[in-house]
Structures are given as structure tokens and as C-alpha cells.
Amino acid sequence: MTETRADGGRPAGHRDRVRQPPPLPVVPIVLLGVTAAALVGRYAFELVLGTNEAVQTWSTVFVAIVLQAVPFLVLGVMLSAAISAFVPEGALARVLPRRPAAAVPVAGIAGGVLPGCECASVPVAGRMMAGGVAAPAALAFLLSAPAINPIVLVATAVAFPQNPEMVVARAVGSLAVALVMGWLWSALGRPEWLRPPRPAHREGGTRGERFRTTLQHDFLHAGGYLAVGALAAATLNVVVDPAWTAGIGGVPVVSLLVLALLAVVLCVCSEADAFVVAGLSGFSLTAKLAFLVVGPVVDLKLVAMQAGTFGRRFAQHFAPATFVVAVVVSAVVGGILL
């Protein structure tokens, strides 16, 4: 006999089987919102603050950075979400060499094949370690994936159309940093510095649902940093005296360190950072290369994420060493290729 309910005679559990309406397409809505805000914001600022040259310059730079970077940001987070949802967790561990020294370059190069933004690289590296990948190889992947993947390199080419050598310099410099840090950790890293990540597990739901939720989270998270970076770049172009910028640009070491530290503070997503730094006038290509090499491997949000995933002692040792290596590599690669 069929079980019924007092509220209408429907079978028990019927409410659980009622098809829920599909969720709103959050990502397209946010994408359109960011684009519209960039366009409307330009004219709003001009109406409120006037149409003087400084306001026009600020709004033009901000809108240009946002509109150029958003398509690459969307494509990058889509690929990252696809990897998180559809690539088996132990796939990379099975193809890596067992010796850490040999696994480091393989994992570093794999970062270009399995792209992802730096926001996603930390939890992915944690899942790799929990799945049996040696720490040096996982750390090499952590540093290379957001820096040498095709989306980032194409975005760099678009941002620097007159300087195609910047693409090669970024790829070489970023991969070199990943390999050097992987080998340094293999030789000098101590087990007590690294808190072993918990065994990897995935949230419930279908792969499609995991893809959608990861995509929405990463886009909203990275889009916020893009807006902050665009605002900072536009403001620097207006506020900073060109003579001061030219003076810093004339001192190679100082200009390189200034942009390297700026990359740490701004926390711009790697799919968009090329457009931000390309808008900074008065700095040499080598200094801009330092911004592109440092940003994806060490910034404030990455340090916080690393401390939360691998422990505070890890972040205290790994982040400063990565910054020094990235600055030195940028100077060397920039001096040779740029």
C-alpha cells in the first residue's frame, strides 16, 4: 500500500524529488556587471569630478585594463575549475618520477599543461601532496602553474604587442623560479617546516556542480583583485609625478625592487597582471618582468593561503626565499633577453 501524507496524499519523499529551478548564471551576470561598471564608472567619475585631463586619463586606463583582462581571467578560471572537477586527483602522482630531484622539472613543466590561477594552485598542490606527490615537485607545480600556462602567456603577448620578447622572458623566468625553489626545498627544506595537508577529498555533488561552484568562487575572488589592481594602476598613472617615475626608472635596481614589491602588495591575478603592469609608464621592461615573475609566486594573499594550507612555519621560510629568487631571476633573465 502506497504511503501517503496528510497534506495532499503525495508519496513520502515526493518533495525531495521535486526538480529545483536551475541556479542563476552567476558568472555571466558578474562578468556583465564588471564590464558595465567599468564603462559606466568612467563617465560617472567624469560627471562628478569634471572632465579634466587627469580624470580622463584615470578612467581610460582603468577601463582599458578591465576590459582587456576580463576575457583572459574568465578563460583562466574556467580551465582551473575544469581541472579541479574533472582531472583525477592521483593522475599527476602516477606520472611523476619517484626521485624528487627528477620530479621537480617534470612537475614544473606540467604547470604549463595544467593551467590554473595562483588562487587555485595552493589547494591543488596540497591535494597533490596528500595524494603522494613529493613536496618539492608539488611546490614546483604550485609556482609554475599560474605563471607559464598558455592563458597567461597569451595575455602577456596581448598586453605587450610591441615587445614579444616579454612572453619568452616571462616563461623562462617563471619556470626557472619554480625549478630553483623545488630543488632548494629538496636540498634544504626540513620536514618540520611543512605541515602535511590532510587527505584530499572532494565536496559532494556531481562533477558539473563542482565545476560551476569552483568557477563562480574563483572568478569572484580573482575579479576583486583585478579591480583593485586596475584601480591602483590607474591611480599611479595619474597621481605619481612622471618625473619621479622617470627618476626611479633610471635606476635599474630600484625600479626592479619597486615593481617587485608592488606585485606583492597588489595581488593581481596572473591572467590579468600583464595588463596592469603594461599600463605603468616610465619603468623598464626588466622591472616590469619582475612584476610578472614575482606576482604569481609570492604576494600577500598567497602567503596567507600557504600559511593556512601548509602551516605558518612553511610560509615564513618559503615566501621570503621565493621573493629573493624571483627578483634575482628577473634581473638575470631581463638582462639577457630584454
205-240 residue pLDDT tens? 687 887 888 777 767 766 666 676 667 767 776 776
**Per mean pLDDT, which range of 17-26, 34-43, 122-131, 170-179 is the poorest?**
17-26
pLDDT surpassing 70 at residue 131: no
Q: Are 34 and 70 in contact (CB under 8 A)?
A: yes
Q: Which residues of 52-85 are buried (b: 16+ CB within 10 A; e: fewer)?
A: eeebeebbebbbbbbebbbbbbbbbbbbbbbbbb
Identify the band that residue 200 occupies on the pLDDT scale cut at 50, 70 and 90: very low
pLDDT category of residue 325 using cuts at 50, 70 and 90? very high
What span, in angstroms and rounded, lies between the C-alpha atoms of 169 and 338?
A: 7
Amino acid 6: pLDDT: 47
Q: Find the mean pLDDT for residues 165-181.
A: 96
pLDDT of res. 226: 63
Half-sphere exposure for 12 (CA within 13 Å, toward CB): 4
| Complete DSSP assignment for 84-144 | HHHS-TTHHHHHS-SSHHHHHHHHHHHHHHS---HHHHHHHHHHHHHTT--HHHHHHHHHH
The segment with the largest mean pLDDT, out of 106-120, 153-167, 201-215, 291-305, is 153-167
Phi-psi bin for 328: left (phi > 0), alpha (psi -120 to 50), beta? alpha
Q: Fill in the amino acid letter for 117.
A: C
pLDDT tens digits along 288-316: 999 999 999 998 777 877 887 788 899 89
Please give the Cα distance from 181 to 200 (Å, whole number).
24
Under the phi-then-psi rule, with left for phi > 0, alpha for psi from -120 to 50, and beta for the rest, what region is 52? beta
Long-range contacts of 216-221 (CB under 8 A, 24+ apart): 216/26, 216/27, 218/77, 218/80, 218/81, 218/117, 218/119, 218/120, 219/27, 219/30, 219/31, 219/73, 219/74, 219/77, 220/26, 220/30, 221/119
- The answer for 21, left when phi > 0, alpha when psi is -120 to 50, beta otherwise, is beta
pLDDT at 13: 47
pLDDT confidence of residue 118: 67
Entry field: residues in the chain: 338
For residue 65, pLDDT beyond 80: no
Q: Which residues contact 315 (CB under 8 A, 6 or more apart)?
A: 303, 304, 306, 307
Find the mean pLDDT for residues 269-288: 87
Mean pLDDT of 44-62: 65
**Residue 288: Cβ-neighbour burial (10 angstroms; 0-12, 13-18, 19+):** buried
If you average pLDDT over every residue of the chain, what do you get?
Answer: 77
Backbone angles phi, psi at 297, to 5 degrees: -110, -20
- With cut-offs at 50, 70 and 90, classify the pLDDT of residue 83: low
Strongest mean pLDDT among 118-132, 156-170, 262-276 = 156-170
Check residue 24 and give its pLDDT.
Answer: 45
Q: Which residue has the higher pLDDT, 301 or 5?
A: 301
So what's the pLDDT on residue 235? 75
- Output 209 or 201, whichever has higher pLDDT: 209
Q: Which pLDDT band holds residue 170 (cuts at 50, 70, 90)? A: very high
pTM exceeds 0.75, yes or no: no
